[in-house]
Structure 1
């Protein structure tokens, strides 16, 4: 640990250790905080740069007040400084004038930093890319840190494409169960006939085609985490089976007689109004209270419009890096960013990222112009409703499905991915709403039946 080196001086072997000075005690206290230590290392590694609180918030995923207090304490100690005349204040590294403080600082910086659990987590790095200027996502980060400290069941609420599985993986990777497996199951894609075999597994000969024993997701998640995505789409039969496992922590494989004990942490996610489903009898109340012990709500992208330009620039830089291009080889025109901000983003962050990649690919020059992203507004659903009547849920759903199908040229596999539903569900919706692709010009390759 870094704080173990500050009370010792470099002396010959066998020499008596000098008593710790007041300065060493105060410096030890300063860097005992992981956030202060991280900030000090970060700004010291970039002595020619300066940073405002907002950029440090995004880098460390911490709330404004936490960052402000920590960086001010570094400045008060003399190991950081406020850039003169900067407004809002910008902070930079500072080399202390007195030799004793300078020696303590150099000893601290020479010491290899311990890699935190957060820095080791791939999902945390992905989540940090989703953080912008709005503090809503930083509050979510604090909820994630809190949830990861226990085995409490977590329900993640949020619209399609908002990053629910990323959050679930973060909770797992930051928890004590991170050494075990994370098992993700999209329950919306599992009909009742497959639910039991997928979740509980089966024995050899349990049914036609069961040529060998197969462990289920519950068994694979033992001592780890089971993530049930779109839990609101589970049938009442599947809900009853899940409730029994949550109560008893035991189950039997399909076709088996042996009861298997299982220790797992449950994380669920949905974009459905579960409370309304409970009132309507579509979701079991006893199961609802089991899965909703700790709720985390992810904001939609339109709830934090100020972040859209920040995220778009970030995704554009990532696209350039993936293509082996300089990070600044593509840029947005101001008018193009304005178009992105005014769009509603029903697919949220996932849709924004794919839109940026598509625009960067299609833009002929270095600058992405409004004309390169006009396809967004051109495909906005326009359901004709007589008078001032608001569209029904079915009408709104039909219009959105039509929009996505047209945007993907009726590639059903891609459309199901964007809609975040199974292909089976999409096929049922196409039949239910009697949807058909528009007639295409001769010679144009139809992707209607792809996937």
Structure 2
């Protein structure tokens, strides 16, 4: 599948690198009709920023706040609460306002704010432009652009801003999610992972089945836990099953559970993984390794939403969200008959592809520093007790990383442990796999004349300039060989051994 595309059809939705506004937010500016504006004014009149307003759109086509904010028929100062409420209704805009005003003495670049909020650069730029128009942020002169907090010019807006900042900030679901914090450590300067984050937010809004595609070690289980924790099922259980480690003989007992006495050693009733995932999420890792029998039984559960324990006679209703992951080409498996086509459509309603570490090699130095800080923290060391020099970073960037993030993490830990001092150097970095062989560049194409000259010269050198043998190999007469030697100006190299008088006479 080409990275960066999204397809809709029988295979479900495809999530890729193009930011196709996955959060359901429109590109068109947000506007209110006159009736809607009057209704909103009645709701928020006299309540300051506590009024309700339509959910904002963070993906704006421009920075003209007057064109995108609610407009009243008679613009007066009384409209400010409505407009300000609309401004801070957006989680990203409200977060930017709080962050900039909590560090009012500092100015931040777009890249720093993008990393801070894990949002696409375009979205951050649009929101900052709107904050500048409203007067609660300012842009410092110079290039690249930097932004800092600002005080509005009118007293009414200042009062609304102070009231908003005085309110206790609600901790969002993302901030409470351990998986989200882990995923943010995997985000670098490349926007590919930010696009993945947007698709995760989209998938978490519904119970649609998600299929994650990506190589080993790219963080598929972290993404699955993120979708679970950000969804309405976040309070339920998350059941992870490694299909590659589940033989057919244990599939039914592990997935469906069993009753007492169902087989030797079954001393009591045991619920299966599917039943434990009721009202939660079932994560099937390496689903491409399921046998044909297991695929058929899983398909039946997905269609009926019922399981029957091994040795039982009653069906148990189950309500779970399915997330699957694989590093195998399932679409090719379907064509080869190795994976059921009907099951493929069930699990692939919405797919997210995780990029390899090689696809975002520019992130490797930043990720290496983060992983080193985590290693130091886990081992009771100060965060700055270990550093990586440029030579080691260049070596890490040039490596092909077949194990992706997981291999990078183990490589950093191994280098930090083996480094004799506080600085990790290139000699301290050891890889688990040999370096990828460097392909020899193809020889330049030669003309027919030049190719003949090179070949005649090579044959003469191989036979120590024995012209009789050379003519025999070239299948030409010795007279023709002499002519070509003179035509091309060929001469023996200085290192060529001299022929004896008998050998010279044999050359004719």
User: 1:93/1:160 Cα in 2 relative to 1: closer, same or farther (>3 Å)?
Assistant: same
- Flag the 1:316–1:381 CA change in 2: closer, same or farther, 3 A: closer
Give how far 1:333 is off.
0.8
Q: Which residue number corresponds to residue 403 of structure 2?
A: 347
After alignment, is 70-79 or 192-201 more displaced?
Answer: 70-79
Aligned to 1:319: 375
CA deviation after TM superposition for structure 1 residue 325, in Å = 3.0
The Cα shift of 1:204 comes to 0.6
For the 8 Å contact 2:214–2:353, the answer to whether it is kept is yes
Paired with 1:269 and 1:32, the residues of 2 have a C-alpha distance of 35
Alpha-carbon contact 1:155-1:291 (below 8 Å) kept: yes
**1:33 is matched with which residue?**
90
- 3-state DSSP class of the match of 1:178? coil
CA distance in 2, matches of 1:238, 1:307: 39
Deviation at 1:4, TM superposition (A): 7.1
Contact 2:301–2:307, Cα closer than 8 Å, also in 1:
yes
TM-score (structure 2 length as normaliser): 0.70
Within the candidate set 104, 113, 127, 1:70 is matched to: 127
Q: How is 1:353-392 mapped onto 2 (pairs within 5 angstroms)?
A: 353-373=409-429, 375-376=430-431, 379-380=433-434
SS at match of 1:251: strand
Deviations 1:326-359 (A, max 9, x none): 3222221111111110001111011111211221
Q: Deviations for 1:43-102, whole angstroms, at most 9, x for unmatched residues?
A: 2212233221122222212111111100111122222122222x2211112233443332
Query: Which segments of structure 1 move beyond 4 Å, counting only runs of 4 or more?
Result: 3-6
* The one of 323, 338, 349 aligned to 1:267: 323
Moved more, 210-219 or 329-338: 329-338
Q: Does 1:214 align with 2:274?
A: no
When the two structures are superposed, what TM-score results if normalisation uses the length of structure 1?
Answer: 0.78
* Equivalent position to 1:82, from 139, 155, 163: 139
Match of 1:258 in 2: 314
Cα distance in 1 between the residues matched to 2:384 and 2:107: 21
Take 1:299 and 1:94, find their aligned partners in 2: how far apart are those partners?
A: 39
What is the RMSD computed on CA atoms of the aligned residues? 2.3
Show structure 1 runs of 5+ residues with no match.
Answer: 10-18, 389-451
* SS of equivalent residue, structure 1 residue 183: strand
**Are 2:215 and 2:327, in contact at CA under 8 Å, matched by a contact in 1?**
yes
Matches within 5 A, 1:75-114: 75-85=132-142, 87-114=143-170
Is residue 137 from structure 1 mapped to residue 193 from structure 2 by the alignment? yes
Structure label with greater radius of gyration: 2
- What is the CA–CA distance in structure 1 between the aligned matches of 2:405 and 2:273, rounded to whole Å? 28
Residue 176, structure 1, aligned to residue 232, structure 2:
yes
In the superposition, relative to structure 1, how do residues 229 and 329 fare at CA in structure 2: closer, same or farther (>3 Å)? same
The number of residues matched between the two structures is: 372
- Give CA deviations for 1:241-280 in whole Å, capped at 9, x if unaligned: 1011111111210111111111111110000111111111
What residue is the counterpart of 1:442 in the other structure? none
Query: Matches of 2:181 and 2:435 in 1, distance apart?
Result: 34
